Amino acid sequence: MTPGQAPGNGQAGTWRRLFHRDHRAPVIVLAGGVGLFATNTYVTTSLLPSAVAEIGGEKLYAWTMTVFVVSAVISSMLVSRSLERLGGRSSYLLGFGVFAAGTVITAAAPTMPVMLVGRCVQGLAAGLLAGLGFAVLRLVLPEQLWQRAVALMSAMWGVGNLLGPVIGGFFAQIGWWRGAFVFLAVGSVALAVLTLTSLPAAASRGESPGEGVPWLALVLLASAALLVSVASIESSPLLVAVLVVAASGVAAAFVIRERTTSGPRVLPESTYRGRSPLRWIYASIAVLTLASTIETFIPLFGQRLGGMSPLVAGFLGAAISWGWTVGSIASSNVDGDRGKKLVRVAGPLTVSAGLLGYGALQIAAPSGAIQAGWYLALFVSGCGIGMAMAHWLTAGLKVAAQPREAARVSAGMNTAQLIATAFGSALAGLLVALGGPSLLGSARVLSFGYAVIGVVAVGIAVREFTVARRSGPPPAPAVSDVPPIVRRREARRSG
């Protein structure tokens, strides 16, 4: 019997077992951290116009997302250090506590600059919480439940995309937009209380002291994210192109620094060395995340081209996230190496097919049937992202057997997603500008341009399969690597 595997259970585990009383509380904490991040993102978007009408600062409107993303990128790269020094429980308590503090600042903000301070604090906590989920997963669940748990955490983005506009829209409608942030702060405190009784106090007892913080790498990546975020709010196509090129140069400097340094790194050393599949896993996660950022402009197209109301257009924008949720959960049933490889190729192909369909349906004065086709095409594209992403994230968790290295691998997956989100927003804006001045032309260029991303993801998947075949399967984890909390729970169940 494999360490950490309960007798009589299938290798892949079941949803029922994931929510068994032995696992339910930690699973809620892990999923809740990601859900808090996602819900906060969409809550802010939906109520920001009401906030600006009261406190002013319209010129700083777009920066509410800029400071949030940049600070989240920084904190996401500190996940492994936090686990090494504080452990899983304290790291989560820190994340929920800081998030609550930032949310209170945002709720009480009398001016836009104060709100930006609150958003920065929120971002620091959100990046930590999103990354902790994939890292602490190994410490509280047996391996055969990882794929289900990853699918659940991935699906929380779809949940956030549904709840965020509803919560933000409700409080904005009743004239108390600050109440939405109070609601999120209360939710953060509730998750912190649950954390006290459900997570282990130490993540890696007995490990060697953590390495120093790679501050130069942090500055380079944060600068790249900031440049891309600025590019996404500029109207001049030339200036956008210059900023994206500059951001790419800074990102290249980050890679060079990571490859050549003998000091601490943001990503595991194996990302840049030998035949490790890790670089391809990170690349696939980033490219699939990049494809999802097309949803930034979907509500705009729905309102301007389809004549939809803001609410209906918002639901259209959520189609990708809902498809992501369905794809993640449905593909978690796929087991076996062959099946997983097929899913990793079929997923991005589905993404491209959906986006090609969406682009082909962009016509002037679309009928109701055409608009329904928009939703279906975007939903299909989201399913492709979800079905492939769930398996790439699981593959990343299995690359490293040692807990300390696994924590760094997990943090890198979250960092790749955040960086891709920042770059994707700029890329979407650039394609929209290139397709102008007609909004119909912008919609087509954006859709067809993003369809190419799926083809790129297929190429990365094929390349990773080649590397994996040459390198052979990863070594099985030693009994000592199975987290004690998992061994105790499985012993109780089998005894």
What's the pLDDT tens digit per position in 69-88? 778 877 877 777 787 778 87
pLDDT of residue 197: 79
pLDDT of residue 312: 74
pLDDT of residue 471: 55
pLDDT, tens digit, for every residue of 180-211? Answer: 899 999 999 998 888 887 776 654 443 444 55
pLDDT of residue 118: 93
Distance CA 269, CA 487 (A): 30
Q: Where are the domains of the chain?
A: 15-494
Length of the chain: 495
Overall pTM surpassing 0.75 (yes/no) = no
Q: What is the largest CA-CA distance in the chain?
A: 69
Residue ranges with strand state E in 127-196: none
Of all residues in the chain, the percent with pLDDT exceeding 70 is: 78
Q: Using the predicted structure, report yes or no on whether residue 290 has a pLDDT greater than 70.
A: yes
Q: Using the predicted structure, report yes or no on whether residue 100 has a pLDDT greater than 90.
A: yes
Could you identify the residue written with the tokens 């991303």? 453
3-state secondary structure of 71: helix
Q: What is the mean pLDDT of residues 386-391?
A: 84
pLDDT of residue 6: 35
Q: Using the predicted structure, report yes or no on whether residue 5 has a pLDDT greater than 50.
A: no
- Architecture of the domain whose range is 15-494: Up-down Bundle (1.20)
Distance CA 234, CA 316 (A): 25
Lookup: tokens for 441 = 């032309």
Q: Give the contacts of 336 (CB within 8 A, at least 6 positions apart).
A: none
Name the residue among 103, 116, 104, 6 with its Cα closest to residue 67: 116
Please state the φ and ψ torsions of residue 187, each to the nearest 5 degrees: -60, -40
Name the residue among 397, 476, 491, 334 with its Cα closest to residue 6: 491
pLDDT, tens digit, for every residue of 211-255? Answer: 566 778 878 877 887 787 677 666 677 787 888 889 889 988 988
Distance CA 274, CA 233 (A): 39
First to last CA, the chain: 15
Q: Using the predicted structure, report yes or no on whether residue 405 has a pLDDT greater than 90.
A: no
Distance CA 297, CA 469 (A): 40
More confident of the two residues 72 and 430: 72
Confidence of residue 122 (pLDDT cuts 50, 70, 90): very high
Q: Using the predicted structure, report yes or no on whether residue 331 has a pLDDT greater than 60.
A: yes
Lookup: tokens for 377 = 């095409």
Distance CA 68, CA 88 (A): 23
pLDDT of residue 121: 94
Q: Give the contacts of 28 (CB within 8 A, at least 6 positions apart).
A: 191, 194, 198
Name the residue among 311, 324, 287 with its Cα closest to residue 427: 287
pLDDT of residue 106: 93
Name the residue among 151, 119, 150 with its Cα closest to residue 136: 150
Burial class (CB in 10 A: 0-12, 13-18, 19+), 195: buried
DSSP for 414-476, please give it. HHHHHHHHHHHHHHHHHHHHHH-SSHHHHHHHHHHHHHHHHHHHHHHHHHHHHHHHHH-PPPP
Instruction: Tell me the pLDDT of the chain averaged across its residues.
Output: 77
Please report which residue ranges of 261-297 form alpha helices under DSSP H.
278-292
Lookup: tokens for 215 = 């501050």
Distance CA 29, CA 199 (A): 9
pLDDT of residue 22: 66
pLDDT, tens digit, for every residue of 443-485? Answer: 999 999 999 988 898 888 887 766 655 555 554 444 444 444 4
pLDDT of residue 435: 81
pLDDT of residue 479: 42
Lookup: tokens for 412 = 């890198």
pLDDT of residue 221: 76
pLDDT of residue 227: 80
pLDDT, tens digit, for every residue of 167-181? Answer: 877 787 788 889 989
Name the residue among 210, 226, 178, 220 with its Cα closest to residue 70: 226
CA 412 to chain centre: 11
pLDDT of residue 17: 66
pLDDT of residue 81: 76
pLDDT, tens digit, for every residue of 340-386? Answer: 888 888 889 999 999 999 999 998 888 889 999 999 999 999 999 98
pLDDT of residue 14: 67
Q: Is the dihedral of CA 378, 384, 386, 392 positive or negative?
A: negative
